[in-house]
C-alpha cells in the first residue's frame, strides 16, 4: 500500500512535469500610440502573451492566418496562450496600419 | 457622383495648399479647433451611418469611428484645458463644417447599398484629405510639443481608419 502510494506520487510528478513545458514563459507585447512593440517577437507554443494596450483606443491582434484574434479594450491588458507554431503576421482590425510578427517555435 | 462626394475633401486640400502658399500658418488655438472639428464631422457622419447603413460591416465600421474619434476629441479637450488654450473658430473650421453639413444631407437622401457605398467611399476620401492636412499643414504649424504629439497620434488613427475604410469598401463589391 505504501509502495502503491509512492508509485502514484512519482507517476503524478513525472506526468505533471511532462504536461507542463519546462520553459513556459510570458511575453509582453505593448500597443502604444498605435505602434506595436516589439514589431517582431519570439515565443514558443504554450507561452502566454500579455497584450498590453496603453492607448485610449481599442485595438486587436488579429492573425492573418486565423490562428488568433484578441481584442484589447482601451487601457487594458489581455492574455492569451499560444497554441500553434509558425511565423504569424498579425494586425489590428480597427487600425490595419498597426502590424507586427510573432515567431512561435514548436 | 465622385465630384460631389469630394467637396469636403477639396475644401480641405485647398485650405492646406492656400495656407502653405501664403506662408500663413494657423495658430495653435486654430489648429486645435480644426482638428476637433474634423473629428466632430466624422462622428456625425458615423452616427448617421449607424442608423442608415444596411451592411453589418459598415455599421461596425461606423461604431469604430464614433468610439475612436470621441476618444481623440476627449484627449484634445483635456489637453487644451491643461494648456489653458481656447480653441479658436476660423475659416477652415467653418468651411469644413459647412461642406460636411451638405454632405450629410446628400448622404441622407440615399438608402440601402447605395448609401453604404457612398458613405464608405466618402470615409476613404475624407480620412485621406484630413491626413494630407495634418501632414502638410497642421502638424508642421503646431508650436506646442504636446499639441504636435496629439496631432501625430491623430494622424496615425486617421491613417488606420483610411485603411480600414478601404478594406470595408473592397468587401462591399
Ligand atoms: Cu488598433
User: Could you read off the pLDDT of B11-25 as tens digits, one per residue?
Assistant: 566 555 555 545 578
pLDDT mean over A37-54: 97
**pTM score of the predicted model:** 0.82
pLDDT mean over B155-168: 96
Q: What is the pLDDT of residues A6-28, one digit of tens each?
A: 555 544 444 555 555 557 899 99
Q: What contacts A4, CB < 8 A, 6 or more positions away?
A: none
Does the CB of B75 have a partner CB in chain A at under 8 Å?
Answer: yes
Closest partner residue to A33 among B74, B156, B159, by Cβ?
B156
Question: Residue A1's pLDDT is what?
Answer: 46
Which residues of chain A lie closer than 8 angstroms to B46, CB-CB?
Answer: none
The secondary structure of chain B in percent helix, strand, coil, rounded to multiples of 5, reads 85, 0, 15
Beta carbons of A95 and B156 less than 8 Å apart:
yes
Question: Residue B17's pLDDT is what?
Answer: 55
What are the phi and psi torsion angles at B172 (to 5°)? -75, -20
Write down the mean pLDDT value for chain B.
Answer: 90
pLDDT mean over A40-64: 97
Nine-digit cell at A1? 500500500
Does the CB of B128 have a partner CB in chain A at under 8 Å?
Answer: no
Nine-digit cell at A95? 487600425
Question: Residue B22's pLDDT is what?
Answer: 53
Which residues of chain B lie closer than 8 angstroms to A97, CB-CB?
Answer: 156, 159-160, 163
Q: Which of the four pLDDT bands, split at 50, 70 and 90, describes residue B75?
A: very high
How far away, in angstroms, is B118 Cα from ligand 1 center? 24
Closest partner residue to A94 among B64, B152, B153, by Cβ?
B64
Domains detected in chain A: 22-105 (2.60.40.420)
Nearest CA-CA partner of B168 in B68, B52, B47, B60: B60
Q: Assign A14 to helix, strand or coil.
A: helix
Q: What contacts A64, CB < 8 A, 6 or more positions away?
A: A88, A89, A90, A91
Question: Residue B23's pLDDT is what?
Answer: 55
pLDDT mean over A42-69: 96
Closest partner residue to B160 among A56, A74, A97, by Cβ?
A97
Q: Which of the four pLDDT bands, split at 50, 70 and 90, describes residue B4?
A: very low
How far away, in angstroms, is A43 Cα from ligand 1 center? 22
A59-63 and A86-91 beta bridge pairing: antiparallel
Domain definitions of chain B by residue range: 27-172
Residue with cell 495634418: B134
How far away, in angstroms, is A77 Cα from ligand 1 center? 14
Count CB pairs under 8 A between chains A and B. Answer: 39
Fold entry, domain B27-172: Ferritin (1.20.1260)
Beta carbons of A96 and B64 less than 8 Å apart:
no
Buried b (16+ CB within 10 A) or exposed e, B6-43: bbbbebbbebbeebeeeeebbebbbbbbbbbbbbbbbb
Instruction: Tell me the shortest Cα–Cα distance from A21 to chain B, in angstroms.
Output: 38
Is pLDDT of B153 > 80? yes
Is pLDDT of B123 > 50? yes
Question: Residue B24's pLDDT is what?
Answer: 75
Contacts with A, B 153-172, CB within 8 Å = 153, 156-157, 159-161, 163-164, 167
Is pLDDT of B1 > 50? no
What are the phi and psi torsion angles at A102 (to 5°)? -125, 120
How far away, in angstroms, is B108 Cα from ligand 1 center? 29
Percentage above 90 pLDDT, chain B = 85
Select the more confidently predicted residue: B77 or A9.
B77
Amino acid at each position: 500500500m505504501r509502495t502503491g502510494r509512492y508509485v502514484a506520487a512519482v507517476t503524478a510528478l513525472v506526468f505533471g512535469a511532462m504536461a507542463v513545458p519546462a520553459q513556459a514563459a510570458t511575453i509582453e507585447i505593448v500597443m502604444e500610440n498605435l505602434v506595436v512593440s516589439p514589431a517582431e517577437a519570439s515565443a514558443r507554443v504554450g507561452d502566454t502573451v500579455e497584450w498590453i494596450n496603453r492607448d485610449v483606443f481599442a485595438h486587436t491582434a488579429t492573425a492573418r492566418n486565423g490562428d488568433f484574434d484578441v481584442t484589447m479594450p482601451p487601457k487594458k491588458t489581455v492574455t492569451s496562450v499560444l497554441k500553434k507554431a509558425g511565423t504569424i503576421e498579425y494586425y489590428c482590425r480597427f487600425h490595419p496600419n498597426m502590424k507586427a510578427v510573432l515567431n512561435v517555435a514548436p | 457622383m465622385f465630384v460631389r462626394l469630394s467637396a469636403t475633401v477639396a475644401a480641405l486640400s485647398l485650405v492646406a495648399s492656400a495656407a502653405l502658399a501664403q506662408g500663413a500658418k494657423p495658430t495653435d488655438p486654430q489648429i486645435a479647433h480644426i482638428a476637433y472639428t474634423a473629428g466632430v464631422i466624422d462622428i456625425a457622419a458615423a452616427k448617421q451611418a449607424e442608423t442608415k447603413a444596411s451592411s453589418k460591416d459598415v455599421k461596425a465600421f461606423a461604431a469604430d469611428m464614433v468610439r475612436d474619434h470621441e476618444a481623440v476629441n476627449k484627449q484634445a479637450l483635456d489637453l487644451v484645458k491643461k494648456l489653458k488654450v481656447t480653441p479658436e473658430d476660423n475659416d477652415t473650421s467653418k468651411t469644413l463644417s459647412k461642406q460636411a453639413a451638405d454632405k450629410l444631407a446628400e448622404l441622407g437622401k440615399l438608402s440601402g447599398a447605395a448609401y453604404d457605398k457612398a458613405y464608405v467611399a466618402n470615409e476613404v476620401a475624407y480620412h485621406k484629405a484630413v491626413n494630407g492636412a495634418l501632414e502638410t499643414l497642421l502638424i508642421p504649424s503646431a508650436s506646442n510639443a504636446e499639441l504636435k504629439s496629439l496631432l501625430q497620434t491623430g494622424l496615425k488613427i486617421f491613417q488606420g481608419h483610411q485603411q480600414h475604410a478601404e478594406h470595408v469598401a473592397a468587401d462591399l463589391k
